[in-house]
Structure 1
């Protein structure tokens, strides 16, 4: 297993590079690309008359998502240049995609191209030989050099790289300045102030913070920010190394603090029935004062009607503990290729084309914040909002942090954790009992 310490160190190296982001190709008024906008890919894989259909699975189901817009646009451009190739897209939510992929992997029917997160999520697929190494794709035309230093180590096992990532993210809170003013709320500098703000927002009929817990990773991501403040950097690594336990005070206290915000009606009503896209829309439509997320949503904010009313702040201290310059870090979603693909050459050629042009198109569509690849150009001159500039500045403050639970702990224990977090929303089980169940499962899965 790639250890959390190693993962963290390489992510932080990449984070430093974010401060040097700079943009790229453009489109003309007809929406067609200028010659410099995209590289049409090699002729080799698609130059024959052989008809090929590639299956591609993506964790973006919302058509307004800038990543999905970019994917569809680049598929259109590639298949126009390679008319013998058809690419069928299976667009799912994150949780749907993960569940479906598990089923497909069990029968060795993984799509030609699909999505996986790094670390503990990717390792079992690599260990079982289900993924094709992509080092040859990276070597072609200098693609490897477009990625921020160190980021690809998160997707590398046994000296081979299996995933090409889209993003390199930090977690924070977006807030609606107008709704804060309406409710008379200041930016919370402590978790206790965050909990207290819920009462003021609810009194004005405003959702305090939207999360979308139907997709269970969202609650986990919020909780792990509390753990980061209570326990400091490295708690999950210490659990993996058997130096600490989930039954230790910091994790139990964090669960209790999480429940405090739920009891204060801090999240949207019926959060466990609200999916990620709906939760995001509650914020974008001005119904929620805050939106807890990460920089992968910068593009959605940038393309919204409320972007000029939005600010950002880091997750606050908890019980006077924690450093707001330490963030939950997320080397993000990557595309992988099935080792059993019957169209390996075509799949690799498309993925090379996609990753070569991804940063240019994302920048153009105002989704250029928090990418795993370098972006050439000036965000401010390109018309990015102050909110986007604020996020870029937030990156510059990063001096440490931790990886998400599911990037660090084995998948089976992670599922127990996700179930436990969701039960906090709807159940009466004590924090101590929830932690004890998690620790028992961890010990069983990691003897």
Structure 2
């Protein structure tokens, strides 16, 4: 779901930034752009899309109106855009010397392209002045640093998790797995009872492929191996990665994921949640964005008595920690270098990243993503679904962290991971050759300085 911070995250419809296409597009536009110089001279322009009207209304009341009440010099004007065209609109406007004062991007790779094109203002002085260095979680803040300068602040963070139906486990006397052996034994037993082990599919969004690849790389190869490879100290052709990819392909071949490779390509997200609620599927591996999607399929409103629960994804290799939470950004804030209101734009970014109680309220009331700032269990509303608040508390307290492909891999490599995974599961590409091409692309982009920075 790759989109902005207002509710859909890893499922953005348009990913012009993938595979270097955005960089080429920006370069072409910059070469021929004779558009207006600077953004509007009156209000601050803020462009965004929203997952629902409720989310938009909450954002207007609690962000736009609240900010404008205290900053009359340059009030915010919110322009609501369609998800499927917003990226292109922003890119075209920036290349023409215009665009919104606050620039939203899908992650570090897109920010780098904007920064390299000269479209973003450095934010280091504002970070020191406004206390961002202390407020924003260090790993997230570092992802916005390019060539030693801060160009972006994370708008929200995500992680990967497993949804399941506790009633299904209880009915068969099963317990939630923590290890590879437990996971595989449970999958085999479920399949023997005609229960789908893992509800999965990419009919709605091809990028769902990389959720599964990110999971196997972190929970089978392991976060330490990932860190070594992402810093150039190991190769993605090493046996630990090839074995992990082979392991995941095996799950697909057995029909454990989606019920078979052919069905994987036709399974929708709604059908996956329906299978969980009906006890026809055991697990669903997805991300925290699923919190805003899964509830309508369970309980009285859906016409059943089921409830959902979440669990940490099991360790899928001996020696890999049993609870790993992947670090991931769902979007970023930057300031347009041509903004006529740099101080006011920075103040708006500060407002967006302040007040943990407002952050928690946005998540509870409208499903808006949490910014990676310091937040505690006490900041969440008392009437909030405890499943959501305890999940984010667990992520914030994580001691073992992993790295998602869409946040920490460079764009060409990430695009290849998504698109070529389908060749792996259909047998058109071997795990060895898949890893070989990942390594080749990654090495090239690492040499070119296109790999996003890793947290300490």
Fold match by TM threshold 0.5: yes
Mapping of 1:263-274 within 5 angstroms? 263-268=253-258, 270-272=263-265
Contact 1:188 1:316 in 2 (8 A): yes
Q: Does 1:209 align with 2:207?
A: no
SS of 1:88's equivalent in the other structure is: strand
Name the structure 1 match of 2:234. 244
Aligned-partner Cα distance in 1 for 2:276–2:59: 22
Report the equivalent of 2:177: 188
Residue equivalent to 2:452:
none
- Which of the numbers 223, 236, 246 marks the counterpart of 1:256? 246
Please list, as runs of the form range in 1=range in 2, the aligned pairs for 1:25-424 lying within 5 A after superposition.
52=43, 54-58=45-49, 62-63=51-52, 70-74=58-62, 77-78=65-66, 81=69, 85-92=76-83, 111-135=100-124, 138=127, 142=131, 145-149=134-138, 151-182=140-171, 185-191=174-180, 193-195=182-184, 197-198=186-187, 200=190, 208-210=198-200, 212=202, 214-268=204-258, 270-272=263-265, 278=270, 282=274, 289-298=282-291, 309-341=307-339, 344=342, 347-356=345-354, 359-363=357-361, 365-366=363-364, 371-375=371-375, 378=378, 382-388=382-388, 390-392=390-392, 394-395=394-395, 398-424=398-424
In structure 2, C-alpha distance between the alignment counterparts of 1:320 and 1:310, rounded to whole Å: 28
The one-character-per-residue Cα deviations of 1:234-267 (angstroms, maximum 9, x if unpaired) are 3344334443222222222222222222233344
Q: TM-score, normalised by structure 1?
A: 0.69
Q: CA deviation at 1:365?
A: 4.7
Flag the structure with more relative contact order, 1 or 2, with Cα contacts below 8 A and sequence separation at least 6. 1
Is the contact made by 1:283 and 1:291 (CA closer than 8 Å) also made in structure 2?
A: no
Q: Does structure 1 conserve the Cα–Cα contact (< 8 Å) formed by 2:201 and 2:208?
A: yes
How far did 1:346 drift? 5.5
- Unaligned 5+ runs, structure 2: 1-39, 300-304, 448-456
Give the secondary structure class of the aligned counterpart of 2:321: coil
Q: Residue in 1 aligned with 2:15?
A: none
Matches of 1:161 and 1:70 in 2, distance apart? Answer: 29
**TM-score (norm: length of structure 2):** 0.68
Which SS does the other structure have where 1:167 is aligned?
Answer: strand
- What is the alpha-carbon root mean square deviation over aligned residues? 4.3
Corresponding residue number in structure 2 for 1:438: 438
In 1, Cα distance between equivalents of 2:334 and 2:133: 15
Q: Distance in 2 between matches of 1:389 and 1:443?
A: 39
Instruction: Provide structure 1 residue ranges, at least 5 long, that are not aligned to the other structure.
Output: 1-48
How far apart are the structure 2 equivalents of 1:340 and 1:191?
52
- Give the conservation status (yes or no) of the 8 Å contact 1:310–1:387: no
- Deviation at residue 337 of structure 1 after TM alignment: 2.6
The CA distance in 2 between the partners of 1:185 and 1:414, in whole Å, is: 36
Q: Distance in 2 between matches of 1:390 and 1:87?
A: 32
Higher mean C-alpha displacement, 99-108 vs 386-395: 99-108
CA displacement at 1:88 relative to structure 2 = 0.8
Match of 1:28 in 2: none
